[in-house]
A and B are shown apart, each in its own frame.
Chain A
Amino acid sequence: MTNHTSTPSPAPSSLSVKIPKPRRFSRIAPDNDSTSSFFNSSDQLTDSPFSESHPLQATTSTSALLFGNENGISNLHIETTNSHSNVHSQLQTPLHGASYIPPWTEPYIIGIAGNSGSGKTSIAQKIVQELNQPWTVLLSFDNFYNPLTEDERKLAFSNNFDFDTPESLDLNLVVETVLSLKKGHKTTIPVYSFEHHNRTDKTITIYGANVIIIEGIYTLYDPRLLDIMDLKIYVDTDLDICLARRLTRDILYRGRDLSGCLQQWEKFVKPNAVKYVNPTMNNADLIIPRGLDNVIAINLMIKHIEKQLILKSSQHLKYLQTLDIKIRDLNEYNVKILPINNQTKGINSILFNEDTERSDFIFYFDRISTIIIEEGLHFINDFEPITVTAAKSYQYQGLKLVDDIVAISIIRSGDCFMNSIKKTFPEISIGKLLIQSDSKTGEPQLHYDSIPQDIQQNKIMLFDSQIISGAASIMAIQVLLDHDCKPKDIILCCYLSTELGLRRILNVFPEVNIVIGKLSNINDNADGSKWYNPENCKDTDWQFRNRFIDSLYFGTD
């Protein structure tokens, strides 16, 4: 016997969080078909943005094609997922103002089951590759094996432990993890080591997933998981072919010997497959015969997923646009706008002027951003009285700042503030968020986050040089709240903002503090605190609706 560990069917990298490079048209499929379907679906949305009619119906005939497998099983489960109706009901009953439902709160969850060697992993990878979504998470059951006892471990090392029963997996933990991801929470996933047959002390943290693909032989086994998944796929490959693939993989790539592999197959893999895995086929929405070779089936499936995502994305957008309605008097919120005086007027003139040299632009932006930061600091009022010894042992009753301050910059627009924040607090921790709007639809997407530890105990200054639709800022604030920050601890600092964007942010997060350098209307009101357009203002009423500040600051125009 070799001393190689016996593994059921570990994927090459058991869990991968794929973050593709932001691509401009990530939500649009390359061919004309799906582009037109995108417009169709958004047209439907205009009439009833949150209608519960499910577009799956449209694809019924498509799906049916996939079910002509030799077993004649016709288990076309088209269950209307209720994720969208959830959005609907939350919209109907906002607690106060509106609530923002970020796209990662309702990620699209795909489950892929099938026997060991059937090609699940390849299909999952293919989906990740084709979708090219900002955050697609591939979650493998391999991370959820129960840790073994000492005796079990000995069995495992001699190929005599049964890894292929459902009992070998911690299904409760899988359900817990997927539920947490579904709610949009930051979620930690264990890492299992087949070398030691135990959980390692490493974990993987996942946050902000748009699409979650769950892959493993028992994906369609637990009824609790079946309820959560939006699309259930079973890869139906003949067991002989599975064995052949398994042997090739284990012998060629994992250095095992033939007799060990066959022993494991005979003793555990095949009996369990017949007993437990094959019946889960009945739970699938979609059965793909012949695995990855079935190009037509896979393409149809990917088209379907894309359609669902486009629908989800346009609902998100549509929802963002409704956020400015029903808001109290803006002066009741914690909003400060720099007064219009000689200095701010002069600096604005230099920054707005298209003839301004870049060196001047940077210099004056640094100046006004320092003023904005100083103004934002006035929102922090947790000081404790101290007595200091001043000159000649005179006592001075002073104040000391209790909180620590952390800066979070929304890349790249917020980075324009970094010079000034370092000038104000040289040792400040700086976190980053990359939120980009899809250039076609304008939907904001979270691509990257790096948030300092223990951020929830600090005051947070969030930087964005321009607020236009407000979508990126709303998403950024939501990310902070998901990291347990409190809205009242967040100070959003921005140079140029539309009133509409501001209203949307306040509508969702009424407790957030905001400092604005200038509202993006061309005419200055004598009193800077007066609002430009109190009711029914539209996006188009605002000047500066494109981002120019970061382009000029960083010289990429």
Chain B
Amino acid sequence: MSVPSEVHKNVILLPQTNQLIGLYSIIRDQSTKRGDFVFYSDRIIRLLVEEGLNQLPVEETIIKCHGSHEYKGAKFLGKICGVSIVRAGESMEMGLRDCCRSVRIGKILIQRDEETALPKLFYEKLPEDISERYVFLLDPMLATGGSAMMAVEVLLRRGVKMNRIFFLNLLAAPEGIEHFQSKYPDIKIITGGIDEKLDEHKYIVPGLGDFGDRYYCI
């Protein structure tokens, strides 16, 4: 069993198996058609969500089994909430729903302000009781980490505890991870791949292009 590795504190990288590299080769390839891009991205997203769920605590419980045995098992606590950063983050909601059917999902819209070139919060809609929940922050790419950090600010303002936030992404740049972690050391980053660097335009190298554009076909 290949177990995801904690590459450094609070950064969990999915095991870089041939299978996974094969999947990434497909979604990185610019000639991949949208149908395949969506399908294979979804497969990776499901792996990320499974890994995220695995980080959550469970409650020990005794189960009465078929055939009248007892199994010392575990019960899910179910206090989860997904928060997607609009638009690209919404592509990961489906994967989360595949694993947690009735999960609540909040949304945050952050856009780059044309005048200041800084990210600006436009809209947020989160469940009332989010402060009591474990939060999966969904955004497929961690480049500079600017919008993710703004989203975290929103969550912290709503009373979510830092160690209850998990940031799920498909691809991260080392600069972004460092920047993010320097400010929020207790938030776990769960990623499927860590790339080489950011280029001068703050794009991930080699990256996979604009995830939202490729997923939503614009």
Interface set of A (CB-CB < 8 Å, partner B): 336-339, 341-343, 345-346, 348-349, 352-355, 363, 367, 370-371, 374-375, 377-378, 380-381, 383, 386, 388-392, 394-396, 398-401, 424, 426, 522-524, 528-529, 543-546, 548
Contacts and interface: CB of A to CB of B under 8 A. Distances in A.
Given A339-B3, A349-B61, A352-B71, A389 B29 contact: yes
Interface centre among A346, A352, A381, A390 (most CB of B within 10 A): A390
Contacts of A398: 21-22, 24-25, 28-29
Interface in B1-25: 1-3, 17-19, 21-22, 24-25
B125 interface: no
A371 B39 contact: no
A394 B58 contact: no
30 contacts: A345-B73, A346-B58, A346-B73, A349-B71, A352-B63, A352-B71, A353-B65, A354-B65, A374-B47, A378-B2, A378-B17, A378-B19, A381-B18, A383-B21, A390-B28, A390-B208, A390-B209, A391-B28, A391-B204, A392-B207, A396-B24, A396-B28, A398-B22, A398-B28, A426-B39, A522-B65, A522-B72, A529-B1, A543-B65, A548-B66
B22 A401 contact: yes
Interface size class of B (residues with CB under 8 A): 35 or more
Contact of A352 (B73, B76, B205, B210): B73
A367 B98 CA distance: 8
A389 B30 CA distance: 6
Contact of B66 (A389, A392, A544): A544
A399 B21 contact: yes
B183 interface: no
Nearest to B68: A354
B157 interface: no
- The interface residues of chain A, by DSSP majority, are classed as mixed
B15 to A, nearest CB: 9
B50 interface: yes
Contacts of B101: 363
B22 A383 contact: yes
Given A352-B63, A529-B1, A367 B71 contact: no
Contacts of A381: 18
Contact of A380 (B19, B21, B28, B46): B19
Contacts of B99: 367
Contact of B1 (A338, A352, A370, A394): A338
A426 B43 CA distance: 12
B53 interface: yes
A543 B76 CA distance: 24
Contacts of B46: 370
A345 B73 CA distance: 6
A551 to B, nearest CB: 9
A202 B93 CA distance: 53
Contacts of A353: 63-65, 73
A453 B37 CA distance: 29
Contacts of A396: 24-25, 28-29, 206
A353 B69 CA distance: 10
Nearest to B99: A367
Contacts of B30: 388-391
A548 B69 CA distance: 14
Contacts of A380: 18-19
Contacts of A341: 54
A178 to B, nearest CB: 46
